[in-house]
Amino acid sequence: MATLWGKNQEIDFFTKSLGLATPEQLFYLTNDGKFLAYWPKGYKGDKSTLQSRNAFIGSYTEGWTASLFKEIAQTIGGYPVQKAVCEEIGLSKQSPADVAICKVQRQVQVPSDIHLIIEVKMSVVWNWEFITNLNGNFELQRKGVTSQHQINPIFLTWGQMA
């Protein structure tokens, strides 16, 4: 059975993404040289908006969602399909379904083969600091719950439960 989203999934996301991206593409760089997933509440230094992480987290969470729904899809004889296209219902190549549960395992679908369309809206929930040690390896340190950093309000209640 798949594991629900948690700290281990976020560590896995950053670890895998750091094989493809630089820390500057995944973390904010504070004035004192720290790489953080979110700006801390009350941060007074220069700020920028990080857009480069979006493609990485989108790809990761869509794959994670497909894995999460795989067992459920199998119980109805279906498959999770990432980036499903069905022109008849408005799912184009430019705007496909993030994940769809379908009767057939292919990207291009017909309406009668789609059981469920899933829109994935996920991001990193906890704040993390990326730290490089002396021998060039890195570690991720969790830097508090969502009440301690700037984040969209939708995550505030959920983050308090963790």
Is there a domain that residue 1 lies in?
Answer: no
- Please give the pLDDT value at position 156: 46
- Please give the pLDDT value at position 2: 65
- Please give the pLDDT value at position 151: 52
Is there a domain that residue 34 lies in?
Answer: yes
Distance CA(96)–CA(66), nearest Å, equals 14
Task: Quote the pTM value.
Answer: 0.81
Is there a domain that residue 2 lies in?
Answer: no
Query: Domains in the chain: how many in total?
Result: 1
Is there a domain that residue 75 lies in?
Answer: yes
pLDDT lower than 50: segments of the chain: 153-162
Is there a domain that residue 119 lies in?
Answer: yes
- Please give the pLDDT value at position 134: 81
The average confidence (pLDDT) of the chain is 87
Is there a domain that residue 128 lies in?
Answer: yes
CA distances from 5 to 125, 135, 159 (A): 9, 31, 11
Is there a domain that residue 70 lies in?
Answer: yes
Domain limits for position 117: 7-161
- Please give the pLDDT value at position 148: 53
